[in-house]
Copies of this chain bind each other. A is one copy, B any other.
Amino acid sequence: MNKYLHKEGKDLWFTEIDRDNLKIDYRIKEVLYSDKSPYQHIMVLDSYDFGKMLVLDGAVQTTSLDGYIYNEMISHVPLSIHPDAKNVLIIGGGDCGVAKEVSKYDDVEKIDMVEIDENVVMASKKYIPEVSGKYLDYRINFIFTDGVAFAKKQPDEQYDIVIVDSPDPVGPAIKLYDEDFYKDVYRILSDDGIMVCQSESPILYEDILTSTYEKISKIFPIARLYTAVVPTYPGGLWGFTLGSKKYLDPRIEVFDKDTSYVNKEILSSCFDLPEFLKQKLRQE
């Protein structure tokens, strides 16, 4: 047992606390993994309603019920916009779900995956293969180091796509929301490169989303916002910010990947923003 778990009678519950004002309790069948790494507390839980869950420092990161939605949306949108991506960098993404989606593109030659915590990759691969994928693609290079420092050290124009699959902007991850970091991402992207990052809930964290959009708009000639639903993230509606040097729209006529959420229609309608968000971005 640890501070995130408690018993009620015979039942085991895991409590996620969001911003002191919201707690979500999941009834748990079994604790599959629980350990402290040098970076964080890691758990894999088997829950009744959401299947297996990866939990870092008490926050749900992905589940076998709905993890594919987030991973498909952060991967297939940029990969459908870029006509010829060969080198892809993933920053974060320890559950390996993004790497799994990127691997569906045969033309991609190299996938560098920079994750600070090797233990997250190990636990995900072992306990949540539904999310991480059963096999390791030979094109994936795991680099276990800090993503911000890694980006800073790379030569110019190394990558066609950079996907920033970061946790919430708390603790060390806060550097992944910095303008300086986005400038490095711009620099290491090829002259038609595209970056995408998750931008939290437009309803509960509107300020994070609008400030990310503002920073990326300043650095990239093209900035676009898109949304998807992620049931296990508080707020449900989730924002993604895309910065592009050249290309604008997904080439939806060619989408032929095996997916559960993304399809041709979703690839274009994900850019149709609710009215309150359109108005908010217009004000910026």
8 Å CB contacts to B: which residues of A132-187?
Answer: none
A25 contacts B23, CB within 8 Å? yes
The smallest C-beta distance from A210 to any residue of chain B, in angstroms, reads 16
A121–B51 Cα distance when bound, in Å, is 39
Taken together as a complex, chains A and B put the C-alpha atoms of A47 and B203 apart, in Å, by 15
- Chain B residues within 8 Å of A274, by CB: 69, 260-263, 266
**A2 at interface by CB-CB < 8 Å:** no
Contact with B along A220-251 (1 / 0, CB 8 A): 00000001011101111100000000000000
| Stretch of A14-22, A83-91, A92-100, A101-109 lying at the B interface | A14-22
Chain B neighbourhood of A230, CB < 8 A: 236
Q: Which of chain B's residues have a CB closer than 8 A to the CB of A119?
A: none
Note all chain B residues with C-beta closer than 8 A to A266: 272, 274-275
Q: Closest residue to A19 on the B side, CB-wise? A: B49
Q: CB-CB < 8 A to A20: which residues of B?
A: 27, 48
Residues of chain B with a CB closer than 8 A to A229's CB: 227, 229, 236-237
Chain A residues with a Cβ under 8 A of chain B: 13, 19-27, 47-49, 65-66, 69, 201, 203-204, 227, 229-231, 233-237, 259-263, 265-266, 268-269, 272-276, 278
Q: Are B201 and A231 in contact (CB under 8 A)?
A: yes
CA distance A201 to B236 in the complex (A): 12
Which residues in B have their C-beta under 8 angstroms from that of A201? 231
Complex Cα distance, B26 from A20, in Å, reads 9
- Please, which residue of chain B has its CB at the minimum distance from the CB of A227? B229
For A260, give its contact among B27, B47, B237, B275 (CB under 8 Å). Answer: B275
Contact B66 A203 (CB under 8 A): yes
Distance to closest chain B CB from A7 (angstroms)? 14
Q: Which of A49, A266, A275 has the most CB of B within 10 A?
A: A275
Name A258's closest neighbour in chain B (CB-CB): B275
Q: How far is the CA of A107 from the CA of B275 in the complex (A)?
A: 24
Check A231–B203 contact: CB distance below 8 A: yes
Chain B residues positioned under 8 Å from A272 (CB to CB): 265-266, 268-269
6 shortest A-B CB distances, which residue pairs? A236-B236, A269-B269, A265-B272, A21-B48, A23-B25, A229-B237
Most chain-B Cβ atoms within 10 A of its Cβ — which of A21, A69, A227, A261? Answer: A21
